[in-house]
Amino acid sequence: MPTHIRRIAALAVACAAAMPLASLAQNDTAKALADFVECKLSAEQVAQFNQKLDAEEFAGFAQSDDGGSAALMLWKSAQPVSAWGEKSAYINFPSRKEMHLAFKVPEGQEIKIGEALAARIGGMKPRPDLEAMKETYDWKGMDSRKPLGADKTVRVLVDVSYAPGWVTVGCGYGDAIQ
């Protein structure tokens, strides 16, 4: 067998062997993202998460332009993330201490779906200045929150004014959500 064919065959075998490892790494990434989004991390783990993000150690997780004109800072995971009873490959990452699962919904259904999600989580209340935002800025949407203790707050955010067709649910750590 010629040398170049042996090299190609060896490369194919190496790639096939590496595929399960890449898949495992992407599953680890999806799990880490879900834990962040579901408020399962400690302050120390949030700091470690950000160090890994800075070092680009999360396989299959990168910034994305898939949000189109939506005012969301979207990242995309190669493996879908399951959190708060929803599943999506998209993550809205507005700060180093706040991350939301972002999922597409039919335009015009955002608030209805967001309210159903907030009801399913239970105990959520609108942001204190929500009515003022609507009156002052003609903002359309919902922003419900539920403190979970230990400086963690779950949030359902629907911003019809700037991100139509999207619903987000996630967690803020520390003072990330005012």
| pLDDT value, residue 13 | 41
Lowest mean pLDDT among 38-42, 127-131, 164-168: 127-131
Q: What is the pTM of this model?
A: 0.82
pLDDT digits (tens, 9 = 90+) for 53-97: 999 999 999 999 888 778 888 999 999 999 999 999 999 988 999
> What confidence score (pLDDT) does residue 71 get?
84
Q: What is the pLDDT of residues 8-65, one digit of tens each?
A: 434 344 444 444 434 445 678 999 999 999 999 999 999 999 999 999 999 999 999 8
- The ranges assigned to domains in the chain are 3-173
Region 137-152 average pLDDT: 92
Closest CA to 85 of 118, 60, 126, 110: 118
Distance of CA 113 to the CA centre of its chain: 17
Measure Cα distances from 107 to 43, 132, 158, 159, 161 in Å. 36, 24, 11, 11, 11
Model confidence at 178, pLDDT cuts 50, 70, 90, reads low
